[in-house]
Amino acid sequence: MIDVKALRENPDLVRASQKARGENPDLVDQALAADEKRRNAIVEFEALRAEQNTLSKSVGAAKGDEKAALLEKAKSLSAAVKEAESKKNSTEADFKKIAMEISNLVDTSAPVGGEADFKVIEEVGIPRKFDFEPKDHVELGKILGAIDVERGAKVSGARFYYLTGVGALLELALVNYAITMATKAGFIPMIPPVLVKPAAMEGTGFLGQAAENVFHLKEDDFYLVGTSEVPLAAYHMDEILDAKSLPLRYTGYSPCFRREAGSYGKDTRGIIRVHQFEKVEMFSFCVPEQAVAEHQRLLAWEKDFLNAMEIPYRVIDVATGDLGSSANRKFDCEAWIPTQNAYREVTSTSNCSEFQARRLNVRTKGESGTYPVATLNGTLVAVPRMIVSILENHQQADGSVLVPKALQPFLGMDRFTPVG
């Protein structure tokens, strides 16, 4: 949620942020008007309640006709207090509804523009030049007995798949390597719930712009998470964290579910864009002044993972119009996919500053009182896209695939070979 103080004191900054995102700047004026109504209603309610308290003391000291008159006044005043309280609650709800629609303030260092206006920060590794025609991951998956999209579609529909044989083993190796790496770096490993209440989904910002991509179980009012960022962020909901314990870092392994409602016709072949997949996510709670440095640390861990996979990749600074509502800055790592002759996103890390913490009521305590923490998240490995990257970049002319050295201890082999 946007900082109310910033909204009141610097509305032009909030308007500029909304414009940079390509979102509605008029929400700022709507929120300011609703805030004024809310504050007036609070003043009115508190004044009436103070009058009621004073009157109650007078009633206790009065006698006879005076007491009867005061009791009659108290009855009337009680009705006015209830009406004022109802008005206060209504205006507070109106303000919150509008304020929750305003996205996080963008970092002024982020490039301004839409999806294509990112800035390339660095390129790591050189895309391989093949002396044979490289196969895509779908064909390699068949040859190796690793991926079965046909039966996935038969059983569940488009954008579903089976990982079989070495494909399943590769997923387990990737997850184990990621969890081992994160644990060594001081993260607390978690397997979180993937069905969450509306408060968790709304608090992390996934019921706004991203709502169309969320699976909702209407009968039970549960949401299937699209990332373990959601349950990890909500883990300390309505809590005050000990400042001495920060940063608190968790790594969550979970299945993820996405409707991909806005991607009709995109990546229909293979397992690059699917409805269900596994992911290892990093999540950090820290004091706000540490957030920028913590963001760089998350990015460094993502790069360490990709370096261990021995694949070429680049790091981009995501443009303001592609940040999503919660992040004020985001870095994506994109792996080189040979058969697409393009870089594709495989990991992402976002600095959400205090935006999610305000919505989830996660605070810490300092000399000036309690205040929201900063939250940050970063993908260590999204399994399907990493499998695509490994198979395509490490394939050999005979259809075999070399296993990255970092994964060999988890797989007990250095090469995947064709089956049959």
Mean pLDDT of 155-163: 96
Mean pLDDT of the chain: 94
The residue type found at 282 is M
Is 258 among the catalytic positions?
Answer: yes
Residue 378: band (very low, low, confident or very high) from pLDDT cuts 50, 70, 90: very high
Q: Cβ neighbours of residue 247 under 8 Å, at least 6 residues apart?
A: 284, 285, 286, 287, 290, 294
CATH numeric code, 115-416: 3.30.930.10
Choose, from 17, 228, 254, 348, the residue flagged as catalytic: 348
The residue type found at 115 is E
Choose, from 228, 385, 389, 392, the residue flagged as catalytic: 385
Residue 334 near residue 311 (C-beta atoms within 8 A): no
Mean pLDDT of 248-258: 97
Q: Is the pLDDT of residue 336 over 70?
A: yes
Residue 78: band (very low, low, confident or very high) from pLDDT cuts 50, 70, 90: confident
Is 385 among the catalytic positions?
Answer: yes
Tell me what pLDDT residue 309 has: 98
Q: Provide the token pair at 94.
A: 């109106």
Mean pLDDT of 199-225: 91
Rounded Cα distance, 233 and 40, in Å = 34
Mean pLDDT of 154-169: 97
Sign of CA dihedral 98, 215, 195, 206: negative
Rounded Cα distance, 136 and 159, in Å = 17
Rounded Cα distance, 44 and 354, in Å = 31
Enter the pTM of the model: 0.92
Tell me what pLDDT residue 267 has: 77
Residue 79: band (very low, low, confident or very high) from pLDDT cuts 50, 70, 90: confident
With vertex at residue 353, the alpha carbon angle to CA 95 and CA 295, rounded to the nearest 5 degrees, is: 160
Rounded Cα distance, 150 and 372, in Å = 48
Which residue reads 């009337």 in tokens?
A: 76
Q: Cβ neighbours of residue 367 under 8 Å, at least 6 residues apart?
A: none
Residue 52: band (very low, low, confident or very high) from pLDDT cuts 50, 70, 90: confident
Is 21 among the catalytic positions?
Answer: no
The angle, 0 to 180 degrees and rounded to 10, between the axes of the packed helices 26-61 and 64-99 is 160
Q: Is the pLDDT of residue 233 over 70?
A: yes
User: CA 192: distance to chain centroid?
Assistant: 15
Is 139 among the catalytic positions?
Answer: no
Mean pLDDT of 158-183: 98
Tell me which H or E stretch contains 134: none
Choose, from 15, 39, 128, 273, the residue flagged as catalytic: 273
What are the extents of the domains in the chain? 4-99, 115-416
Choose, from 21, 258, 297, 329, the residue flagged as catalytic: 258
Superfamily name with CATH number, domain 4-99: Serine-tRNA synthetase, tRNA binding domain (1.10.287.40)
Determine the length of the chain. Answer: 420
Which residue reads 């040859």 in tokens?
A: 143
pLDDT digits 0-9 by tens, 24-35: 999 999 999 999
pLDDT digits 0-9 by tens, 282-310: 999 999 999 999 999 999 999 999 999 99
Tell me what pLDDT residue 366 has: 84
Tell me what pLDDT residue 59 has: 64
Rounded Cα distance, 248 and 231, in Å = 15
